[in-house]
Amino acid sequence: MTTAPVHTAATVAMPAEAARLNATYDPERLLAELDAVRNRTWEKQRVYSETGVGAATDVDWRCLALRSPGGDGTRTDPGGPGPRDFAPTEWLDRMPYVREVLDSIPAPLHAVRFMALGTDTVGIDHTDPKYGPRWGVARLHVPVTTNPRALLVLDGVTHRWQPGEFWFGDFSRVHHVENTGPEPRVHLVVDALVTPGLVRVFPEAWQEYFASGEVLYNRPSCGQRAEERARLECSFDVPATFPLWEEDGTLDVDQPWTRVSVRDDGTQLVLDQGTGQPYALVHIDANEYRLAGWSEERTLQLFLEGRQPHAVLRIRDGRSVTERSVPAVPGRTDGR
């Protein structure tokens, strides 16, 4: 195994904890499409971790999924790395204007949810780990309904975003929401991958940060043919924490490592730890892959031709990257 050094760049601080973006949307059309699905019972928001969908929130914070892993309309969690990438749900098919809004966002989209904060509800202070440009992810909000006593406190700053506005918030910072008003507060919440295109909707004051700050940019995905995927099946060792995207990753040898295989499931390559929870892989370029449902915060690249087949594992943090090369054994391990 070999490890490359960590490369760092000079940093420019994020200008603020939030930014109003360079777009506005029609609040009446948004409200009309929201009203069309209000009669369905929305379920409470759930968490997502390496073990899958977890517990529901303790407060009255309910969701309707418009994009989710596999297009499952019952999911209220934000999703993450897993066996299926994000896709539209049946609810988005009923909302042509919301689809226009989403199509106008110049970035690949992950979870999209209507999120309703009930009346007399106060959330706890918390962070959403790694939901920020430093890790290649941006959480965006389009308010649909609100009232003067509905607010967000983000990194100590109180915000009252208004219907039709378009906002970014750095939700990796401490924050909480509260609604002590008479009506639910509903936002369209969009998780997007950070790309150069997305930067263009940020105000001018943010451009220096995106040019020189600790920002991780994602590259476009690139499909592969079945015969290409078949040639890339292999096995190698990774740190047991490698797929655990919410943790600070490390490639040090002084930690548990585990054997994984890359195999073709018939439609895509997956990373299989033998736990029954494979991770779909999204091809970026030159046989480098990110975990479906996540950013390029961690990737693997396969070099199976030649006398020393190997995989290169990479973990990124802003403009820094750590990588380690590990020997790989070409071919399937299950004998098929």
Tokens of 224: 């592969």
**Are 75 and 65 contacting, i.e. CB atoms less than 8 angstroms apart?**
yes
Of the pLDDT bands very low, low, confident and very high (cuts 50, 70, 90), residue 87 is very high
126: DSSP letter? B
Same domain assignment for residues 87 and 228: no
Distance from C-alpha of 299 to C-alpha of 89, rounded to nearest angstrom: 27
pLDDT value at residue 58? 79
SS3 146: coil
Average the pLDDT over each of 50-59, 159-168, 252-261, 281-290 and give the range with the smallest value.
50-59
**Whether the predicted pLDDT of 183 surpasses 60:** yes
User: What does the CA dihedral 51, 77, 121, 24 come to, rounded to 10 degrees?
Assistant: 150
Q: Which of 146, 177, 212 is the last residue of a domain?
A: 212
Tell whether 244 is covered by a domain. Answer: yes
Tell whether 4 is covered by a domain. Answer: no
- Beta strand 121-122 pairing with 109-117: unpaired
Q: pLDDT digit string (tens) for 6-33? A: 445 558 999 999 999 999 999 999 999 9
Domain limits at 258? 219-330
Tokens of 240: 């047991």
Same domain assignment for residues 180 and 104: yes
Name every residue whose Cβ is closer than 8 Å to that of residue 127 and which is 6 or more positions away in sequence.
171, 172, 173, 174, 175
Of the pLDDT bands very low, low, confident and very high (cuts 50, 70, 90), residue 2 is very low
Which helix (H) or strand (E) segment holds residue 103: the answer is helix 96-103
- Residues 111-146 as b or e (16 or more Cβ within 10 Å = b): bbbbbbbeeebebeeeebebbbbbbbbbbbbbbbbb
- Percent of the chain topping pLDDT 90: 83
Same domain assignment for residues 36 and 176: yes
**Whether the predicted pLDDT of 120 surpasses 70:** yes
Q: How many domains does the chain divide into?
A: 2
How many residues are recorded in the chain?
336
Same domain assignment for residues 199 and 240: no
Average the pLDDT over each of 61-65, 124-128, 132-136, 247-251 and give the range with the smallest value.
247-251
Tell whether 27 is covered by a domain. Answer: yes
Average the pLDDT over each of 43-52, 77-86, 177-186, 303-312 and give the range with the smallest value.
43-52
- Beta strand 175-179 pairing with 150-154: antiparallel
Tell me the CA distances in angstroms from 10 to 13, 200, 211, 283, 320, one per residue in order. Answer: 10, 22, 11, 29, 10
Residue type, 110: H
pLDDT value at residue 313? 98
Same domain assignment for residues 54 and 192: yes
Distance from C-alpha of 164 to C-alpha of 79, rounded to nearest angstrom: 25
**Whether the predicted pLDDT of 47 surpasses 60:** yes
Tokens of 27: 């609040």
Q: Which of 183, 212, 241 is the last residue of a domain?
A: 212
Q: pLDDT digit string (tens) for 151-166? A: 999 999 999 999 999 9
**Are 19 and 168 contacting, i.e. CB atoms less than 8 angstroms apart?**
yes
Same domain assignment for residues 72 and 186: yes
pLDDT value at residue 243? 86
Of the pLDDT bands very low, low, confident and very high (cuts 50, 70, 90), residue 129 is confident
Going by C-alpha positions, the residue among 109, 111, 108 that lies closest to residue 75 is: 111
**Whether the predicted pLDDT of 301 surpasses 50:** yes
**Are 76 and 129 contacting, i.e. CB atoms less than 8 angstroms apart?**
no
How buried is residue 184: exposed, middle or buried, by Cβ count under 10 Å (0-12/13-18/19+)?
buried
Find the CATH number of the domain harbouring 186: 2.60.120.330
Same domain assignment for residues 85 and 223: no
Q: Which of 212, 246, 264 is the last residue of a domain?
A: 212
Same domain assignment for residues 126 and 257: no
Segment 47-65 mean pLDDT: 83
Average the pLDDT over each of 239-243, 301-305, 326-330 and give the range with the smallest value.
239-243
Segment 101-121 mean pLDDT: 96
Tokens of 37: 């699905």
SS3 6: coil
Same domain assignment for residues 93 and 228: no
Tell whether 13 is covered by a domain. Answer: no
**Are 316 and 194 contacting, i.e. CB atoms less than 8 angstroms apart?**
no
Same domain assignment for residues 232 and 193: no
**Are 113 and 103 contacting, i.e. CB atoms less than 8 angstroms apart?**
no
